[in-house]
Chains A and B, each alone.
Chain A
Amino acid sequence: MQAYSRWKRFRRRLQYWLDSNERHRLLREEMEFHIASMIDELLDQGMSEPEAYAAAYRKFGNMTQKAEEARSTWIARWVSDLAQDLHHSFRGMRSDAGFTAFTILITGLGIGASSTVFSVVNALLLRPLPFRDPGRLVWITNGEHGYNTQAEHYADFRELNRSFSDLAGFFGYYRAGDSELTGIGEPERLTSVPVTGNFFALLGVQPAIGRSFTTEECQGKFSAPPAMLLSYRFWQWRFASDPNVVGRKLMLNNQPVTVVGVLPASFDFASVFTPGTPVDIFIPWPLTDKTKPRGNTMWIIGRLKPDTTLRGAQAESTALGRQLETRYPKRNSMDPRLVLLEQHVSGQVRPALSVLACAVGVVMLIVCANISNLQLARLGSRQKEIATRAALGAGRLRLLRQMLAESVALSCCGAVLGLFLAVAGTREVAHLHAFNLPLLESVRIDGSTLVFNLLAAFACGTVFGLVPALRVTALSLREGMQDASRGSSGGKRHAWVRDGLVVSELAFACILLVGAGLLIRSFLRVLDVNLGFQPERVAALRIDPSFRISSFAQQNSFIDDVLHRARSTPGILAAGITDVLPLRDDRGWGVAAKGQVYGKSHPPPEPFIRIVSDGYFEAAGIPLRSGRTFTERDRATSAPVVVINETMARTVWPGRNPLGEMLTVDGRTFIGVIGVVADVRHEALEKASGPEMYLPMRQTADYAAMQLVVRTALPPDSVAAGLTTALRPTDPNLPVRDFVNFQDLVDRAVSPRRFLVLLLAGFAGFALILASLGIYAVISFSVSQRVQEIGIRMALGASPRAVQIGIVLRTFALAALGLVLGMAASRALASALVSLLFGIATGDPVTFIEVGTLLTAVAAIAGYIPAWKASRIDPMVALRSN
């Protein structure tokens, strides 16, 4: 009832306001009737007509004012005042176009940057994942290193647990271009992800067209899925969004397969789980199949029951894991580690984004300080206007509001510019495919960004307008008029406010510069890391034969053929084959060295396994440390051999020469170590390689891909066409699509770091420019204030040099204060960056010294220009000017 009448009142108010002109006229008419009635009465009492008129009007008072008062009940008074304020603001803006343009420009840049960062933060941290009830989804890894889990364990775990309403999983070792699709024209390499049958149901994702997998479809063979689901993007791109694609029969890896559905556009598997590797199709993973891949291959997602906590689920899972381990000692270890899926996805980017958000906040503070300062400087010229207004009866609050309205109007103009910048910025960010960040593609300007933009505009306008507004209204009327008549401003009394603003600008800029400096230096350290291979002019091409390899003899001759053709292609210096590419793929096996006994306290080494052919080490540029690498003679028919890396040599055979030692993978056959090569950074540039071992491709069939790696004399792309032509005869159906430059792999691996460094460096640069402008503005303003004083000094014999020194010293004093504060704050805040640094400490002296030097130099330049101008003041002109 209450709300209803309030709503009615609001509607009436709005209605009155909308036809306010008409109502105003009627109100006056009503009042005129009142006066006329009064006159009538006075006339009745015997007053003469003119007297009656005068008396009635006198008694009624100022009709306009009364009307205004009456009106103010329906037009809220402040609306009309605001309109007036805005009118003043725009007049003010026009009269000082330079200041206006500058203010709009820097607030625009500031708000644009903050809105862009906000939309990234919103997409990556704030917005819920595009699944049903994502808060109950749990990401389950295995062991402290976050490995994946054996499918057998998954099946039992799913059966036995009480904490989850369901569990689902997907295959962790799918690779870009794993599958080959035929039956639609040109053969095509696709990225396919095997998922458990309930995967989409668990996430709450309904296919846009068609259906998900049936139980029967999940009971076929791993290598021959009977059904597949298309990702929305692949469907658009390859089938031109044809809805009749559902039910089509195609060939996947030479096996018949039916398209059963298309996933919705909102479901972007890759952006959540594997940023940067778009997925084309999904196939069922039959858990009952005996031929399914062995070992830890599954990533598990669980949905918590409504009444279960993460902690409770963790306790149960740990106990269950132990139980499974004791029941099936032959299986791999099982130690489930639970983390909310949201945290798993955003956890890796959270520190970086927090840093960015803080940085952009600091930038905004500098922007505000800068504009505040400019407005304070402008007050001098506006003092008279304001004093006049106050003299004409504007109250203090009214003046305060007018000043604030001006500031907010300016910052709203800036926000409009900022919105354009943010639209452009988010579009750029969303298209950074090369960047290895989750959910980046979903970055966009949405309602919450618009709200943020608006709030930022208001907050910014209020913050930068508040100090000048308070200053203005604090000045008494008389003072204002007198001051104005002297043509100076409030004089010295503002000086400390302006100095304070400049000092804080410098301190903030210092913080940003130190942060950016630390990250840039870390970035350089990362780029300097010894990768263990040489990525320049190396590229890989996927060459898995389209026919089925049935014997080692056939496989060996295929390898011979491919390598021979590749090596005789012009421009190719070396060629070899590998199954995994550095910085992209990985897999590990447990092995055992001959003569060593392993147990819980001394676990067997789990090296990363690479299956490579002869020539791979040369092509990838992995240096040999001792022994030899593989040759063409290491074939299926010769003795099994292995090449290991330095870490493995050191950890498995400490203090001994590993050459000639034996190790085993399956526990039966032993293979001899023939060489030791350098460590290769396989996971990340920042992460030292663990033990690695290389098996000759000609001696095993246990690899999922064949990547031909070539080292070229010219940029790799220029030989791509020649190479594919040369390889065509080895297999006419060879789908050669992706030619991967190793340098791109490296670039992609450092892309999140580059993203952060670029943005932060940009912010720091912007802050530096603003701070230098700020210090310049303050010094030149103080010079302009002291023109007469300087003139007198020079007339009395002060040298231009002394004048210059005085001014530059003042600049340095401000800069030094700002630097000290900034350095101290940076030192305290740098520890927040620790997880993002690489190879340097948070107190890295080089960074601090460099930033100090840079800021001092900038301050010197900013102070020298006004000092130089001051030294050229002509005493006669200066003294006469007033």
Chain B
Amino acid sequence: MGSEKPKADLLPGTLDMLVLKILMRGHLHGYAIAQLIQQLSDDLLRVEEGSLYPALQRLELNGWIEGEWGLSANNRRARFYKLTPEGRKHLAEESARYRQVTGAVARIMGFA
């Protein structure tokens, strides 16, 4: 049942932040978001499709991202997401908080 490849568990809540960060790059559909997260983390972080779509729904519900239908590179109908101003603000807050927390953890662990 378990995944064959070792994968790094995302810290709770970080998926939302990552999705928002990725969307800073422009309009992207779900598949591209998943791919980008994987690539940018050098294949270390894998986004499960099952958690990506609930996350996208949640972000949209909160008004942080907006989805609209468009055509993909190979002419398929796909849903593209873009960051809203509120989402931008939220991302700033989240990353500040994340930096604080990881900084604190790092200090305790003696990494810094």
Contacts and interface: CB of A to CB of B under 8 A. Distances in A.
Do A and B pair up? The answer is: yes
Given A33-B77, A73-B54, 15 more contacts: A5-B86, A9-B63, A29-B77, A29-B79, A30-B79, A31-B30, A31-B49, A34-B34, A37-B31, A65-B50, A66-B49, A66-B54, A69-B54, A70-B53, A70-B57
A573 interface: no
A13 B61 contact: yes
Given A30-B78, A30-B79, A37-B72, A73 B50 contact: no
Interface string B41-60: 00000000110011011100
Nearest to A13: B61
Contact of B63 (A5, A31, A60, A69): A5
Contacts of B58: 73
Interface size bracket, B side = 20 to 34
B29 interface: yes
B76 interface: yes
A26 B61 contact: no
Contacts of A48: none
B80 to A, nearest CB: 10
Given A5-B63, A59-B49, A66-B50, A30 B57 contact: no
B74 interface: yes
Given A30-B79, A40-B74, A12 B30 contact: no
Given A60-B49, A66-B53, A33 B61 contact: no
Contacts of B86: 5
14 contacts: A13-B61, A27-B57, A30-B29, A30-B78, A34-B31, A34-B34, A37-B31, A61-B50, A65-B50, A66-B53, A69-B50, A73-B54, A73-B58, A74-B61
B95 interface: no
A372 B23 CA distance: 56
B62 interface: yes
A5 B84 CA distance: 14
Could you say which of B53, B62, B63, B77 has the most chain A C-beta atoms within 10 Å of its C-beta?
B53
A70 B58 CA distance: 8
B31 A70 contact: no
Contacts of B57: 27, 70-71, 73-74
Interface in A47-75: 59-61, 65-67, 69-74
A33 B31 contact: yes
B54 A34 contact: no
Nearest to A61: B50
A48 B79 CA distance: 27
A356 B53 CA distance: 57
Contacts of A157: none
A726 interface: no
Contacts of B54: 66, 69-70, 72-73
A36 interface: yes
Interface in A1-39: 5, 8-9, 12-13, 16, 26-27, 29-31, 33-34, 36-38
Contacts of B29: 30, 33-34
Nearest to B50: A66
Contact of B49 (A16, A27, A40, A61): A61
Nearest to B72: A33
A807 to B, nearest CB: 57
B50 A9 contact: no
Contact of A34 (B49, B61, B74, B77): B49
A27 B63 contact: no
A66 B69 CA distance: 20
Nearest to A40: B74
Given A33-B29, A33-B31, A34-B31, A27 B53 contact: yes
A25 to B, nearest CB: 12
Interface of B: 29-31, 34, 49-50, 53-54, 56-58, 61-63, 69, 72, 74, 76-79, 86
Nearest to B56: A70
Given A37-B72, A66-B53, A9 B78 contact: no
Nearest to B69: A26
Given A34-B30, A38-B31, A9 B61 contact: yes
Given A30-B79, A33-B31, A16 B61 contact: yes
A661 to B, nearest CB: 95
A178 B75 CA distance: 96
A325 B69 CA distance: 92
B79 A33 contact: yes
Contact of A26 (B62, B72, B76, B79): B79
A30 B76 CA distance: 10
Nearest to A34: B31
A40 B76 CA distance: 12
A5 B90 CA distance: 12
Contacts of A27: 53, 57
A60 B34 CA distance: 12
A9 B63 CA distance: 7
Nearest to A33: B78
Nearest to A60: B49
Contacts of A74: 57, 61
A61 B48 CA distance: 10
Q: Which 6 A-B pairs have the closest CB atoms?
A: A37-B31, A70-B53, A73-B57, A70-B54, A73-B58, A33-B78
Contacts of A73: 54, 57-58, 61
Could you say which of B31, B69, B76 has the most chain A C-beta atoms within 10 Å of its C-beta?
B31
A785 to B, nearest CB: 45
Contacts of B30: 30-31, 33-34
Given A70-B54, A72-B54, A12 B61 contact: yes
Contacts of B63: 5, 8-9, 12
Nearest to B67: A30
Nearest to A38: B31
Contacts of A16: 61
A477 to B, nearest CB: 23
A59 B3 CA distance: 10
Contacts of A70: 53-54, 56-57
B7 to A, nearest CB: 13
A30 B62 CA distance: 19
A797 to B, nearest CB: 63
A45 to B, nearest CB: 14
A58 to B, nearest CB: 11
A198 B63 CA distance: 61
Contacts of A38: 31
A71 B60 CA distance: 12
A8 B62 CA distance: 8
B53 A30 contact: yes
A242 to B, nearest CB: 61
A59 B61 CA distance: 27
Contacts of B76: 33, 36-37
A698 B102 CA distance: 107
A538 B74 CA distance: 104
Contacts of A36: 76
Nearest to B48: A61
B1 to A, nearest CB: 11
Interface string A521-533: 0000000000000
A605 B92 CA distance: 90
A13 B58 CA distance: 10
Contacts of A31: 30, 49, 53
A122 B8 CA distance: 62
A69 B54 CA distance: 6
Nearest to A36: B76
A325 to B, nearest CB: 75
B87 to A, nearest CB: 12
A68 to B, nearest CB: 10
Contacts of B50: 60-61, 65-66, 69
B79 to A, nearest CB: 5
B70 to A, nearest CB: 11
Contacts of B61: 9, 12-13, 16, 73-74
Contacts of B77: 29, 33
A26 B29 CA distance: 13
A124 B29 CA distance: 65
A36 B29 CA distance: 13
